[in-house]
Amino acid sequence: MIQLYNVSKVYDNGVPAVSDISLRIAKGEFVFLIGPSGAGKSTLTKLIFREQLPSSGQIFFRGRNILRFGPREVLQLRRQIGVVFQDFRLLPRKTVYENVAFALEVIGRSRKEIRERVPAVLARVGLSGKEDAFPDQLSGGEQQRVGVARAIVKRPLVILADEPTGNLDPDTSREIMDLFEVINRDGTTVVIATHAWDIVNRMRKRVVALENGRLVRDEERGSYSYGA
Amino acid sequence: MIQLYNVSKVYDNGVPAVSDISLRIAKGEFVFLIGPSGAGKSTLTKLIFREQLPSSGQIFFRGRNILRFGPREVLQLRRQIGVVFQDFRLLPRKTVYENVAFALEVIGRSRKEIRERVPAVLARVGLSGKEDAFPDQLSGGEQQRVGVARAIVKRPLVILADEPTGNLDPDTSREIMDLFEVINRDGTTVVIATHAWDIVNRMRKRVVALENGRLVRDEERGSYSYGA
Amino acid sequence: MALNSLWYCTRQACISLTRNFWLGVASAAMIAVSLIILGAFLLVAVNANQFMRIVESTVEINVFLEDDADVRDLQHRLAGLRGVEEIRFVPKQQGLQELKKAFGERHDLLSGFEGENNPLPDSFRVRAERAELVPTLAQQISFFPGVYKVRYGQEYVEALVKVTRWVNVVALGAVVLLGAGAVFLIVTTIRLSMVARQDEIGIMKYLGASNWYIRGPFVLEGMVVGLAGACAAVATLGAGYYYLVVVLERLPLLFFIQPVTDPNMLLSIFGGLLGLGLLMGGVGSLISVRKFLQV
Amino acid sequence: MALNSLWYCTRQACISLTRNFWLGVASAAMIAVSLIILGAFLLVAVNANQFMRIVESTVEINVFLEDDADVRDLQHRLAGLRGVEEIRFVPKQQGLQELKKAFGERHDLLSGFEGENNPLPDSFRVRAERAELVPTLAQQISFFPGVYKVRYGQEYVEALVKVTRWVNVVALGAVVLLGAGAVFLIVTTIRLSMVARQDEIGIMKYLGASNWYIRGPFVLEGMVVGLAGACAAVATLGAGYYYLVVVLERLPLLFFIQPVTDPNMLLSIFGGLLGLGLLMGGVGSLISVRKFLQV
Ligand SMILES: Nc1ncnc2c1ncn2[C@@H]1O[C@H](COP(=O)(O)OP(=O)(O)OP(=O)(O)O)[C@@H](O)[C@H]1O
Ligand SMILES: Nc1ncnc2c1ncn2[C@@H]1O[C@H](COP(=O)(O)OP(=O)(O)OP(=O)(O)O)[C@@H](O)[C@H]1O
Ligand SMILES: [Mg+2]
Ligand SMILES: [Mg+2]
């Protein structure tokens, strides 16, 4: 599904965020991306849906080099990926309902389908009753769950979730992670960057650990630990 | 230090975020505020430094009713409290150094003192070398630590930290919490709203639990649990 | 699908307009102010032009005839000239009357010249279509048989021609400058209001929204705001101009200030302003969004 | 402490200006465009006023004397009148010469009136300070001993007075309107650019920053931007006006368009524009920030 070959990213100000990473994620996998703060987890996910372009290396999505994509193909790429952003990135002038519906409108779904799916997804992340609230009328955890709902509502091929439970209590975190697992069982590839060591240890999925922008560990059924 | 008497907050859109809470926090205490997502933790902290006004009830800070404060006294109140915001609220057009220095400039500290203290604090939260970066050039966890540095640099009477480790890995989270404990030992009152159950359980401080806007538990040397 | 998109754009634009009501009002007001200034100047320019044409129409060529001139033949010749607007024959008696009138109270000075003693010749008064044609016409006429002398206010005509050209150049220049200024003001306003939405546009891009999907509502919103501003401008200008016309009519002595009331001309000015507002709103939004679409 | 604050404001304003360079340039350009329009109109108004005054100065009262009038005494009386600008004595010979000139080529008509036969009386030509004084003066003079008749172009003077009043009213109205428009444009621009910083201001408030601490840099920045825009406007207007003056001088026939070149007048206009830019930038920022300080 996703392949990275010797990918490096040096930001404009000279910070090397990701260094020489090669990685292969197959269709249907469930991957935890772990590492200390500033290790390059977010940068790696941004490279995959082309928010950022790598300084060197190649990135393939479904066998095609995304660095050669034209504008239309970039759109298609992003429509096939559901992203949960670490900083939420909700549309501030749209209600919760509209924010989630927007992800479906973008991919051209019918209004009927939107009216069915959006409330169902909001219920699954525990936001029933908050449909008409604007993002600045939500608690931190509620905003985060809107981000999760927006990513999963379009049933994408791949879900990239960057720290999706950072503002959630343990119970809700577990529910959200279970939700990702259910979606993964239906065949969706899931990549989650996280600091939730308890959940990583409990779920025993593939764990990819970064440190200082380098890949330091890649383990099936791994646990939360990195470095020496 | 801080007293709340029958405080309730109903937001403009009719959401009752905090209901009839009475609470007393003595000088030098260390309090964890816990509760599920949307329980009203952030609202409670916002009430204390007068970002929000309660719908009913009284709030006292150092024996004085903050609801009767005029503009000048509100400034004084806020200068005596160091706040870590759940959504960081860094000044986007200032560098990391300037963001932290701003908290000292506001309370009228000399430039010499600023030049000494800011780098020291940045070093303690592990951000040495990031002084000249702008907030949008930082990882999520780095931004959060800038927020922590800004709150503690002015050595306030009270620290209100809203989810200060949500974007930090376990090791860094522990370091930050240890930092708060050190500061608390020097006499600073510390109130931390958090979901980090592991840290709450390890540190064994006073725990105040909210659920649906109500105070459901208040326990010295408590552990992370709420509800029935 | 296309209809679906149109519906989407319209709905989004409506939502955005109501949720950002004050931003929209501010932008519309900016557009209105710009267009009022531009429109007021257009009206001034049109009126200046008409005023010059009225002044021009007062310029006459005096053609004095020999005593034995063939009046009919000359009349035909004059009528055949290009650029002649009007020809009037003035027999010498009438010429004397006019001279007396010019003398006013002292006309008794001329009392000895009545009847047979009238020393004035017969003459034609010729009006040209434009003042600048007068010198050439005068020269052509002077060669006609039976013409004793041709006279016109040479200095006056030359000055008039120069002033006319100047008024035209200045008016055109000012309208172009003001137009450019208005366009600049409008585009900058829209761009400034767009900065606040920069993040929004970026987020939409990351969600895979196509450029037109993002632009559409903005452009429609811009057009609505632009049209609203232009309507306000046209209403203000129209009312102000109407009032001015009414007031000027009440001052009969200001005979030489005859405001333009040709409905076609006024409609094309006001219509042009409306179109400009619409266009500016739409194109301005389009250009402003473009900058933020490079994600 | 006060010095410290000033230093802080200056430093913050400088940092902000360099980091938000394009926003500053856009705002300055908006201010420049507004002030250019306002300034251009001020110049037009000042020139129109001067033009009217030149036209007024051509209005003369003809005072015809009785044959036995005491010229010296009359001259004294006329000089004693309020509102008289200039008095000129015209003996009857000179009167005849002027009449002949008016007759132009046909002056031979008057050849019988030379010397003793001259039917014209001696006269004074009186110029008033302002055209509107002419009717009153004429009446006063007509009662003086030795005055045979007083004449002036009554219709002409009345029309002139009305036009002058109109030009003044229209010019003042337009300047006020354009000034209000410019102020509105500038304030709205600053407010729009402030929306982008709304969050920033809120954060500063929550950190305990006093209102002046937040406002200071914004106001200083606004003043710098306003002054920059005003400087651009004054430079453009100054160069354009200088060019116009030079061109008009080269057209000697446009005798009646004498552009205002009085340095005091021009300096006060340009200085006023600079002050307006500075003030608007500062006050505009102050007002705009205020809205966001209510936290
Ligand atoms: N836009 C940017 N410009 C410059 N440097 C950046 C930018 N974004 C991130 N960085 C730097 O790149 C490094 C990796 O950042 P990244 O956001 O990928 O870390 P992360 O693993 O997601 O950390 P966290 O767990 O704190 O979110 C950090 O040192 C950060 O300062
Ligand atoms: N500005 C607001 N306007 C309206 N409702 C609000 C606003 N802020 C919060 N709320 C609502 O008030 C309730 C409590 O919110 P609060 O932010 O205090 O929760 P919290 O305990 O901090 O949750 P979290 O752990 O997710 O941050 C929530 O239901 C939320 O939707
Ligand atoms: Mg990250
Ligand atoms: Mg919260």
More confident residue, C273 or D120: C273
> Cβ of B24: how many Cβ atoms within 10 Å?
12
In this predicted model, what pLDDT tens digit does every residue of A154-174 receive, in sequence order? Answer: 999 999 999 999 999 999 999
**Cα angle: C106, vertex C107, C109; to 5 degrees:** 80
Residue D25: what pLDDT?
Answer: 82
Give D85-144 as a DSSP string.
EEEEEE-HHHHHHHHHHHHGGGGGGGGGGSGGG--PPPEEEEEESSGGGHHHHHHHHHTS
What is the C-alpha separation between C131 and C118, in angstroms, rounded?
31
CB contact under 8 A, C196 and D195: yes
Compare CB distances from B105 to D8, D200, D203 and report the shortest one's residue: D8
Rounded distance between C-alpha atoms, residue D258 and residue D261, angstroms: 9
For the segment A190-203, the average pLDDT, to the nearest whole number, is: 95
Confidence bin at C3 (pLDDT 50/70/90): low
Write the pLDDT tens digit of every residue in C140-159. Answer: 888 888 888 888 776 667 76
A73-126 residue pLDDT tens = 999 999 999 999 999 999 998 999 999 999 999 998 998 999 999 999 999 999
- D281 versus D169: the higher-pLDDT residue is D281
pLDDT band for A228, please (50, 70, 90 cuts).
Answer: very low
pLDDT-derived band at C1, boundaries 50, 70, 90: very low
- Mutational test site, ligand 1, from A10, A11, A48, max ligand atoms within 8 Å of CB: A11
> How many residue pairs from chains C and D have C-beta atoms closer than 8 A?
88
C231 or C169, higher pLDDT: C231
**Using the 8-state DSSP alphabet, how is residue A92 labeled?**
T
* Cβ–Cβ < 8 Å for B1, B189: yes
Query: Residue C104 has what pLDDT?
Result: 57
Which of B91-100, B122-131, B199-208, C90-99 is least confident?
C90-99
**The residue to which tokens 């009037």 are assigned:** C88
Q: How is residue D45 annotated by DSSP? A: H
Whether pLDDT at B101 is above 60: yes
> How far apart, in whole angstroms, are the C-alpha atoms of residue C253 and residue D154?
12
In the reported structure, the alpha carbon of residue A137 is separated from the centroid of ligand 2 by a whole-number distance in angstroms of 7
How far apart CA D206 and CA A25 sit, in angstroms, is 45
Structure tokens at A45: 């996910």
Strand partners, D127: D60, D86
- Give the model's pLDDT for residue B118: 97
With bands split at pLDDT 50, 70 and 90, how would you rate the model's confidence at D1? Answer: very low
d(CA D119, CA D98) in angstroms, rounded, equals: 14
Is any atom of ligand 1 closer than 6 Å to the C-beta of A13?
A: yes
pLDDT of residue C253 exceeding 80? no
- Sign of the CA dihedral running B48, B51, B56, B61: positive
Q: Whose CA is nearest to atom 23 of ligand 2?
A: B38
Q: Report the C-alpha gap between A173 and A165 in whole angstroms.
A: 5
Of all residues in chain D, the one with the smallest CA distance to B82 is D207
pLDDT the model gives residue D106: 59
| Chain C residues with CB-CB distance to A71 below 8 A | 211
Nearest to B200 by CA among B175, B221, B170: B221
CA–CA distance, B33 with B160 (Å, rounded to integer): 10
CA distances from C278 to B2, C10, C194 (A): 58, 16, 18
Query: pLDDT-derived band of residue A200, with 50, 70 and 90 as boundaries?
Result: very high
What count of Cα atoms within 13 Å lies in the side-chain half-sphere of residue D290? 8
Place of tokens 């337009």: D174
Is residue B20 predicted with pLDDT exceeding 70?
yes
Residues of D in contact with C33 (CB under 8 A): 181, 184-185
φ, ψ dihedrals at D104, nearest 5°: 65, -130
The one-character DSSP state at C294 is: -
- The span from the CA of A38 to the CA of B139, in Å, is 6
Residue D84 to residue D130: CA distance in whole angstroms: 9
Residue with tokens 């620290």: B159
Q: Across all residues in chain D, what is the average pLDDT?
A: 80
Distance CA C223, CA C226 (A): 5
**Higher confidence at residue D287 or residue A103?**
A103
Q: Is the pLDDT of residue C252 over 60?
A: no
Query: Nearest 5°: CA angle at C177, between C175 and C183?
Result: 100
Bridge partners, B58 (sequence order): B5
Instruction: Please state, as a whole number, how many other Cβ atoms lie within 10 Å of the Cβ of residue D196.
Output: 19
- Domain C60-151: give its CATH architecture: 2-Layer Sandwich (3.30)
The predicted-structure confidence for B156-176, as pLDDT tens digits, reads as follows: 999 999 999 999 999 999 999
Q: What does the pLDDT read at residue C257?
A: 61
B37 lines ligand 2 (CB under 6 A): yes
Query: In which band, very low, low, confident or very high, does the pLDDT at C71 lie, cut at 50, 70 and 90?
Result: confident
Per-residue pLDDT for C254 more than 60? no
| Residue C76 DSSP SS3 | helix
Bigger pLDDT: D104 vs D249: D249
Is A199's pLDDT higher than 90? yes
Beta bridge partners of C149: C64
Q: Kindly list the partner chains of chain D, i.e. chains with 3 or more CB atom pairs below 8 Å.
A: B, C
Sign of the Cα pseudo-torsion (D97, D99, D102, D107, in order): negative
* Shortest Cα distance, chain A CAs vs residue B213, angstroms: 12
Between A152 and C166, where is the model more confident? A152
Domain boundaries, chain D: 2-55+160-293, 60-151
Q: B128, B169, B211: best mutation site toward chain A, by most A Cβ within 10 Å?
A: B169
Is the CB of B87 inside 8 Å of chain A's CB atoms?
yes
Of D117, D116, D119, D121, the residue nearest D146 (C-alpha):
D121
Exposure of C104 in the CB half-sphere (CA atoms within 13 A): 5
Q: What is the DSSP letter of D213?
A: H
According to the model, what pLDDT value does residue D108 have?
Answer: 64
Residues contacting residue B222 through CB under 8 Å, at least 6 positions apart? B32, B200, B204, B205, B206, B207, B209
DSSP for A110-131, written as a single string: -HHHHHHHHHHHHHHTT-TT-T
Higher local confidence (pLDDT), B172 or C16: B172
Do chains B and C touch, with touching meaning 3 or more CB–CB pairs less than 8 Å apart?
no
Angle between helices C211-250 and C154-195 (to 10 degrees): 140
Tell me the CB-side half-sphere exposure of residue D101, using CA atoms within 13 A: 6
Q: Find the range with the poorest average confidence among A43-57, C207-221, C275-289, D168-182.
A: D168-182
- Total CB pairs under 8 A between chain B and D: 45
Instruction: Tell me which residues of chain B have a C-beta less than 8 Å from any C-beta of chain D.
Output: 49, 51, 71, 75-79, 83, 85, 89-93, 102-103, 105-108, 150
Percent with pLDDT over 90 in chain A: 93
Q: Using a pLDDT cut of 70, give the percent of chain C over it.
A: 87
More reliable by pLDDT, C115 or B92: B92
Percent of chain A with pLDDT over 70: 99
Q: Do B197 and A170 touch (CB under 8 A)?
A: yes
Q: Checking DSSP bridges between strand A56-61 and strand D147-151, what pairing results, if any?
A: unpaired
**Closest chain B CA to residue A129:** B15
CA distance B2 to B23: 8
Let me know how long chain B is.
228
Run of H or E including B33: strand B30-34
What is the band of C66 on the pLDDT scale with cuts at 50, 70, 90? confident
Distances (CA, A) of B33 to B156, B164, B225, C103: 19, 12, 11, 106
With pLDDT > 70 as the criterion, what percentage of chain D qualifies?
A: 87
Report which DSSP code applies to C261. Answer: -
Establish if A198 touches chain B: CB-CB under 8 angstroms.
yes
Lowest mean pLDDT across A138-147, C198-207, D4-13: D4-13
Look up the ipTM and state it.
0.82
pLDDT in tens, D55-106: 777 778 888 888 888 888 888 888 888 888 888 888 888 877 877 776 655 5
Alpha-carbon distances of D241 from C174, D25, D250, rounded to whole Å: 13, 25, 14
Q: How many CA atoms lie within 13 A of C215 on its CB side?
A: 17
Of these ranges, C26-30, C276-280, C284-288, D197-201, the one predicted with the greatest mean pLDDT is C276-280
The CA-atom distances, in angstroms, between B110 and each of B76, B90, B117, D15 are 18, 22, 11, 20
Considering only alpha carbons, which residue of chain D is nearest residue B48?
A: D206
Cβ(D261)–Cβ(D242) below 8 Å? no
